[in-house]
Amino acid sequence: MPFAAHTLFNRPPAPTAEAWRDPLALLLASTGEGIYGVDLDGLCVFINQAGARMIGFEPAELMGRNMHDLTHHARADGSPYPEAQCPIFNAFRQGLPCRIDSEVFWRRDGTAFPVEYSSHPILDGNQVRGAVVTFVDITERKRAADALQRAKDELEERVSERTLALATALKQVRELAAWSETVREDERTRIAREVHDELGSLLVALKMDVNWMDKRLSEQPQRSPEAAGDMRERMRCKCQGMSRLIETAVDNVGRIITDLRPSILDHQGLWAALEWQAQEFVQSAEMALDWCLDVDGAPEPPEPLAMAVFRIFQEMLSNVGRHAQARHLAVSIGVQGRVLSLAVQDNGVGAPAQAFEAADAYGVMGMRERARHFGGDVHITSAPGRGTRMCLTLTLPDGATT
């Protein structure tokens, strides 16, 4: 026999005492899910109020109408959805129950909404009579899922960006470390060469002079008074020459030591060391210097920080000497509160900003790494033909000595 329609929504209200005698009607009326039944032709035989309201109809308007044509006729993109492919109809035509949450139902006004629906065949003995379909509007769920997916995508994008940034930073640190090691080796080589070429030659000359004097002294008893007097004069000249060689050796040793560790930094402090370095640089580079030092009452930085500032200043001057082709240099050093500002401005050829951000700009990277170690920063402003300004800014610690 055919799947008969229920008259659950057309009967008059039952007396309160007898309302519990029809629990199926109570269940259908009270649930928030849409529930409807279709026969073998796909025609609606019943639907509850919640289901009819979701698709924009009254229950009575849907009786005997094809539910696929009414509410499941197209996919989410608007393309036709053939009835033969509909999982709801397969539930009773092939006996295959289903649960789907990736499709839409269509309202009476032509708008669609995402649904999760299930379809189960209705059996009369071994014979399928139709199907019961339950569905629920999952718009909010989809909206939340989409928002969660967007947040996940944004998070993955940020993680990817941070990972790339960390990988780039790690690569730069490794390259900087390799460059620093190369610089150290080059410096060792330079010092060894200077010791060999300058001190070594001086010591060899002194040794030869000492041997000459030793030989002449051993011959002294055999000489006549006149020859002995002449030899004494020659030995006096030789001793004076040896003294000059020793003085030169002492000067060279002092210069090498100063290159390794400027003693003025230990004896007179950072401010004096910076001025000395600037004067030494402009004299050797034959440049004019504007010097401005405003550190009255400022604390003297502790030794590690003072050395870092001094080395950064040296690298700034080194950049000017190597690249700027400048004739004039302005150095401004000041302390406001506990904030130290050290600026070096030249009138040289300048360079595009990206030149200072290049992967092989190891000198700039070294300055910035030194500054970051103490919570500071090195800012560089430059343009072709307009010179370059390099500025170190950092905060002096509370423990600095005055």
Same structural domain for residues 274 and 391? yes
CA–CA distance from 372 to each of 121, 148, 310, 323, 396 (Å)?
Answer: 72, 37, 15, 24, 13
Tell whether 6 is covered by a domain.
Answer: no
Tell whether 261 is covered by a domain.
Answer: no
Lowest mean pLDDT among 115-119, 177-181, 314-318: 177-181
Same structural domain for residues 328 and 382? yes
Tell whether 401 is covered by a domain.
Answer: no
Same structural domain for residues 177 and 285? no
Tell whether 276 is covered by a domain.
Answer: yes
The domain that contains 122 carries what CATH number? 3.30.450.20
- Residue 14 confidence (pLDDT): 46
Q: How large is the average pLDDT for residues 234-255? A: 74
Tell whether 301 is covered by a domain.
Answer: yes
- Residue 398 confidence (pLDDT): 75
Q: Across the chain, which distance is largest between two alpha carbons, in Å? A: 158
Same structural domain for residues 132 and 159? no
> What are the DSSP calls for 31-94, one per residue?
-SSEEEEEETTSBEEEE-HHHHHHTT--HHHHTTSBHHHHHSSB-TTS-B--GGG-HHHHHHHS
Q: How many CB atoms lie within 10 A of CB 88?
A: 24
Residue 104: is it exposed, middle or buried by C-beta count within 10 angstroms (0-12/13-18/19+)? buried
- Residue 268 confidence (pLDDT): 83
Tell whether 8 is covered by a domain.
Answer: no
* Domain termination residue (choose one: 230, 256, 282): 256
How far apart, in whole angstroms, are the C-alpha atoms of residue 26 and residue 171? Answer: 70
pTM for this structure?
Answer: 0.46
For the cut 50, the answer to whether the pLDDT of residue 99 exceeds it is yes
Determine the 3-state secondary structure of 298 from DSSP.
coil
Lowest mean pLDDT among 12-26, 104-118, 166-180, 248-262: 12-26
* Domain termination residue (choose one: 117, 137, 157): 137
For the cut 50, the answer to whether the pLDDT of residue 4 exceeds it is no
**What are the phi and psi torsion angles at 349 (to 5°)?**
-75, -20
Confidence of residue 32 (pLDDT cuts 50, 70, 90): confident
Same structural domain for residues 113 and 210? no
Q: How large is the average pLDDT for residues 78-84? A: 91
Confidence of residue 359 (pLDDT cuts 50, 70, 90): confident
User: Nearest to residue 71, comparing CAs of 38, 99, 97, 98?
Assistant: 38
Same structural domain for residues 116 and 156? no
For the cut 90, the answer to whether the pLDDT of residue 68 exceeds it is yes
Domain hosting residue 218, numbered range:
145-256
Average confidence score pLDDT of the chain:
81
Tell whether 9 is covered by a domain.
Answer: no
Determine the 3-state secondary structure of 332 from DSSP.
strand
Q: Is residue 32 within 8 Å of 50, Cβ to Cβ?
A: yes
Same structural domain for residues 244 and 296? no
How far apart, in whole angstroms, are the C-alpha atoms of residue 257 and residue 140? Answer: 75
**What are the phi and psi torsion angles at 291 (to 5°)?**
-115, 125
How far apart, in whole angstroms, are the C-alpha atoms of residue 248 and residue 230? Answer: 28
How far apart, in whole angstroms, are the C-alpha atoms of residue 359 and residue 278? Answer: 28
Same structural domain for residues 272 and 365? yes
pLDDT digits (tens, 9 = 90+) for 318-348: 889 888 889 999 999 999 888 999 999 999 9
Same structural domain for residues 251 and 277? no
Q: Is residue 107 within 8 Å of 55, Cβ to Cβ?
A: yes
Confidence of residue 9 (pLDDT cuts 50, 70, 90): very low
- Residue 1 confidence (pLDDT): 41
Tally of structural domains, the chain? 3
- Residue 12 confidence (pLDDT): 45
For the cut 60, the answer to whether the pLDDT of residue 42 exceeds it is yes
- Residue 15 confidence (pLDDT): 46
* Domain termination residue (choose one: 113, 137, 161): 137
Lowest mean pLDDT among 92-96, 151-155, 166-170: 92-96
Lowest mean pLDDT among 122-126, 235-239, 280-284: 235-239
The domain that contains 306 carries what CATH number? 3.30.565.10
Tell whether 4 is covered by a domain.
Answer: no
